Amino acid sequence: NAGVTQTPKFRILKIGQSMTLQCTQDMNHNYMYWYRQDPGMGLKLIYYSVGAGITDKGEVPNGYNVSRSTTEDFPLRLELAAPSQTSVYFCASSPNDRPSFNEQFFGPGTRLTVL
């Protein structure tokens, strides 16, 4: 299993540009999450999904959109990028059955800079 994969690893955007951060997991997990990590801070939840076709906002959803058309994929869309969105973005997934139902498995992250 590759686990949770994210692309790209790094990206520089200009203010106002848009992009999609890709996230794929091959563990057949129902739950998927997007977090952002600002320098010197913990992770903050942007959006999450409990299954295909179901998404919900987290703590910091403004400026982002998500979709979940398949179990495997959970892309994060940035519209009109702003410098405040400069951060490292992590995707995670978790199963919804024991014994690991609350363990989140993280991807390697995408470092995004908006200039």
Partner 1 sequence: AQTVTQSQPEMSVQEAETVTLSCTYDTSESNYYLFWYKQPPSRQMILVIRQEAYKQQNATENRFSVNFQKAAKSFSLKISDSQLGDTAMYFCAFMKHVPGSEKLVFGKGMKLTVNP
Q: Which residues bind partner 1 (CB under 8 A)?
A: 31, 33, 40-45, 48, 50, 58, 88, 90, 92, 94, 96, 101-104, 106, 108-109
CB of 18 to partner 1, least distance (A): 25
CB of 111 to partner 1, least distance (A): 8
| Cβ closest to partner 1, residue 24 vs residue 94 | 94
**Sequence-separated contacts (24+) of 4-10 with Cβ below 8 Å:** 4/91, 4/92, 4/93, 4/105, 4/106, 4/107, 5/107, 5/108, 6/89, 6/90, 6/91, 6/107, 6/108, 6/109, 6/110, 7/110, 8/110, 9/108, 9/109, 9/110, 9/111, 10/110, 10/111, 10/112
CB of 71 to partner 1, least distance (A): 16
| Cβ closest to partner 1, residue 46 vs residue 114 | 46
| Cβ closest to partner 1, residue 2 vs residue 40 | 40
